[in-house]
Structure 1
Amino acid sequence: MGSPSESAYLSVEVDTIEDDEEFMQDFLKPYLPYSLPLLRRCQFHAKQKQLTPDAEICLATCSINEKAIGAEAETAVSSSQENDLLDNPPWLAAHIDLSNSGQTQIWTFASWEHEFNKELDPATAVQESPQYLAYQRLFEALFRHIHKEHISKLGDQPPEQWQRLKAEGKLVSEPFSKSKVLFGTIAECLWPFLDALRTDRGDSAISRESRPYLKYIFSSREHEEVMSPPKGLRFAPVPEQYLQTIIDRTDIPRTVETIRQLPNIGLCDSNGRPIAWGLLSKDASLSSLHTEPEFRRQGLAETVARRLLIEQEKFYHDAENATSRPDDDAADAVVYGHADVSDSNVASRKVVEKVGGKVMWRTAWIEIDLGNV
């Protein structure tokens, strides 16, 4: 935490976003591809918000409190910092949905990510930034907002879906606490703001974490080639009776209810049994690519991945260049896709690289306990 004088000159507000499309157009699309995970999550929210009415897109903004800049605060803020904050105020956006206990609940994007994710050591670079205090204040405001507007309204007992995940051996932190929230695909330059809770409150502040993951970015200019399925197989959505199989074949904590909401593609045999499959997560990242053991080494996962990238464009109406940068000509517009792959998962890395994925930054899943913010 900063000193009182450091806090005084910064004014931070957190507002609920009422116009999804305007927010995505004005705040997220100009920062592509770095804003892609949150953009896709917001697009998914717009399509299915009736399923999670308590979910929220919010925006935390930071500005100079000019009334507080006097003799007391002059030592806390330099003229260059003041000018930078006035000319280019930072902001932090988030999609919050605590209904999926044990699964990813929060996606974020910060206005400074496109600068620091290009650094060799993004976490150190952001900590050395003159605007670090402002960035930190934005996260602290977000944490307080999540606790006040979302956590406080939850019941104290573990929900049924959390108990199911535990019974199936999925990774959930114990004991259960409604104040534990899972931040997903969070960029490396944002890790310090979550790790700071460990410094302030000890190891209990971070209840579980998975890092590092590599963020692969795909371009429509690179995945236009669609591989036909091998003879005897066909593309089809995974039948309902096999949705639990998708869950059983991965460590990712998801429920059948979640899988039903997600676009998926299966390669099915003549009996309708899927022998390879993949899906798009709520942020449209390629996820759960899997081939049954007896059918491996035939390029089936690559085939499914290519098809999923095309399906993404259909699902999010990218034929209208919905995720292109504003300065792209329509004919040259790029449609982006993405995937998070564990640094140690060599097999999956090879698959996404064959499809044209390029590593652009690192990410993590970090669950933090906001019970004492």
Structure 2
Amino acid sequence: MASHAVSFTSVPAKLVELLTPDLPYSLPLLRRLQSTKFNHGTSPHARIVFVSDTELSSEEQFDQYQSKAYTAAYLDFSKPETQMYIYSTLEHPRNRDDASNSHLYEPQLAELVKEVIRLRNEYKQELLFTDPDRILIGSLHADTRSILEKFEGRVQPRPSGPYDKWLIKREELPLLDENLPPGMYWDSANLDDCQLVVSRTDIPRTAVVLLVTFAAFISGTNRHHRSQTLVNLPNLMIKRQDKTPIAWALLGTDGSLISVHVEEPYRRQGLAKKLAVKLLREKATRFGDDGWLCADVSPSNVSSRAMCKSLNGKPDWDLSNPVRDWGGRKALAGQLNGKLICDTMSEGFMGLAHTDLPWEIDR
């Protein structure tokens, strides 16, 4: 069965309508689409790609779409953070164990790759990532990745192996006393806080700007090229009375909890859990009010897993965060060349997958 791709420059309401009933499995892509409403949450270069067995030439035709088998993606080559998120209905439990679905989804993902290559050639500018011919795919489901690997590609796994998608329900978050120890107060990050945040992570970057909400200010560097971007993200900090940050947490553009950090002298006081609960309960609704929360955690990251359990979360599916090498700038639409590579990251954190920071649980 032939597959057809169509690209949109803004988020089609129909796609949100399709993704919502598939929660929580559609969560990464749906949250990324929802975060486009944030200040600097998208750009004129962003594209939403939809692939199905129905040929659609306009958003009006898309509004009439009825099939339940499709693959969709958010893509923005201009960003130095995660540039692509994918959801395929293959990932839903109703389809995971049906081997007959491979004949349907392999053509869809092949068509998606072709469309991404076409859009890459159309974009023409240098990519704001370490390698200008690669893009970073965030929170990629293991089933979707297994098909992408067939397209003359390969995967170089992280030393810690795959990651788990932990699901948390807002209504099941523990009820905690929000009062802080004497000399501490709740706050949001400001510009001066960014240097401290940057110094506490191993992910290469030059600065993080924190404005009203957490804004990730990343300098993407390729030789002499440097670009900067602002992406407003929900955040929360605990500070001393002298305004020094001692703990912080934020949510990524896909809504996941991507950083929980407590400075060494203040650990083992329950601040990390209190911080995460307050952030998730109060600020995750900026994405949507469906009640689903999530985090991506390495199976080897004992402290992060313990944190998720304490939030009444449960691991569900395996994922990875690969870098797709599109085979150079001369790759033509229709080619399926290139490699699928996972960059290695120390300590099993998810940092490169989500805009800016790894999840560093220090209780």
Fold conserved between structures, TM > 0.5: yes
- Distance in 1 of aligned mates of 2:301 and 2:239: 25
Residue identity opposite 2:26 in structure 1 = S
Q: For 1:230, what is the secondary structure of its paired residue? A: coil
CA distance in 2, matches of 1:252, 1:60: 33
Alignment match, 1:34: 25
Cα distance, 1:15 vs structure 2? 3.4
**Residue 230 of structure 1: aligned partner:** 181
Say yes or no: does 1:109 pair with 2:87.
Answer: yes
Q: Secondary structure at the match of 2:216?
A: helix
Q: Is the 8 A contact 2:48 2:74 kept in 1?
A: yes
Indicate the larger mover: 301-310 or 245-254.
245-254
Confirm or deny: 8 A CA contact 1:49 1:55 kept in the other structure.
no
Question: Are 1:358 and 2:328 counterparts?
Answer: no
In structure 1, give the amino acid aligned to 2:241. Answer: S
The correspondence of residues 1-373 of structure 1 with structure 2, limited to 5 A, is: 9-16=1-8, 18-24=10-16, 26-48=17-39, 51-63=42-54, 90-101=69-80, 103-115=81-93, 125=97, 129-156=99-126, 159=128, 162=129, 172=130, 176=131, 178-197=132-151, 200-201=152-153, 203=154, 206=155, 211-223=161-173, 225-228=175-178, 229-252=180-203, 256=208, 259=216, 261-316=232-287, 318=289, 323=290, 335-371=291-327, 372=331, 373=335
1:38 and 1:262, CA in 2 relative to 1: closer, same or farther beyond 3 A? Answer: same
Cα-to-partner distance string for 1:184-231 (whole Å, 9 max, x where unaligned): 11111112123223xx25x5xx57757411111111221162431333
Q: Aligned equivalents of 1:51 and 1:12: distance in 2?
A: 25
For the 8 Å contact 2:72–2:88, the answer to whether it is kept is yes
SS at match of 1:245: helix
Counterpart in the other structure of 1:77: none
How far did 1:180 drift? 0.6
> Closer, same or farther in 2 for the Cα pair 1:207/1:150, shift >3 Å?
farther
1:51/1:30 CA distance change after superposition, 3 Å: closer
**Cα distance change, pair 47–151 in 1 and its aligned pair in 2 (3 A):** farther
Local SS of the residue matching 2:172: coil
CA distance in 1, matches of 2:265, 2:41: 41
SS at match of 1:279: strand
**CA distance 1:290–1:19, change in 2 (3 Å):** closer
Residues 165 and 318 of structure 2 are in contact (CA less than 8 Å); yes or no, is this contact kept in structure 1? yes
2:216 alignment partner AA? I
Q: Secondary structure at the match of 1:359?
A: strand
Structure-1 separation of matches of 2:5 and 2:26: 21
Structure 1 residues 187 and 58 mapped into 2: Cα distance closer, same or farther (>3 Å)?
same
SS in 1 for 2:165: strand
Distance 1:189 1:114 in 2: 10
- The alpha-carbon deviation at position 243 of structure 1 amounts to 1.4
SS in 2 for 1:29: helix
> Any conservation in 2 of the 1:183–1:365 contact (CA below 8 Å)?
yes
Q: Shift in Å at residue 36 of structure 1?
A: 1.2
- Post-superposition CA distance 1:318-350 (Å, at most 9, x none): 2xxxx2xxxxxxxxxxx0100001111111111
* TM-aligned CA distance change 1:19 to 1:184, over 3 Å: closer
Q: Summarize the Cα distance change of 1:251–1:315 in structure 2 as closer, same or farther, 3 Å threshold.
A: same
Distance 1:62 1:245 in 2: 50
1:250/1:288 contact within 8 Å kept? no
Identity of matched residues, %: 29
CA distance in 2, matches of 1:248, 1:230: 25
Structure 2: gaps spanning 5 or more residues: 56-65, 210-214, 218-231, 336-363
Unaligned runs of 5+ in 1: 1-8, 65-86, 163-171, 324-334
For the 8 Å contact 1:208–1:368, the answer to whether it is kept is no
Instruction: Report the Cα offset of residue 317 of structure 1.
Output: 5.3
Is the alpha carbon distance of 1:211 and 1:262 closer, same or farther for their aligned partners in structure 2, counting shifts above 3 Å? farther
Cα offsets for 1:300-325 (capped at 9, x unmatched): 1111110111233442352xxxx2xx
Give the SS at the match of 2:305: helix
Deviations 1:68-110 (A, max 9, x none): xxxxxxxxxxxxxxxxxxx955200111112223x31111111
In the alignment, is the contact (CA less than 8 A) between 1:96 and 1:107 conserved in 2? Answer: yes
With the length of structure 2 as denominator, give the TM-score of the two structures. Answer: 0.74
Contact 2:9 2:46 (C-alpha < 8 Å) held by counterparts:
no
State the distance in 2 between where 1:235 and 1:285 align: 21
Structure of larger gyration radius: 1
RMSD of aligned residue pairs (Cα, Å) = 2.7
Q: Deviations over 1:101-146 (max 9, x none)?
A: 3x311111111211279xxxx6xx57xx112132111111111111
Structure 1 residues 37 and 183, CA, compared in 2 at 3 Å: closer, same or farther? same
Instruction: Kindly provide the amino acid, as one letter, of the partner of residue 187 in structure 2.
Output: A
In structure 2, the CA distance between the partners of 1:301 and 1:20, relative to structure 1 (3 Å rule), is: farther
In 2, the alpha carbon distance for the partners of 1:60 and 1:283 equals 21
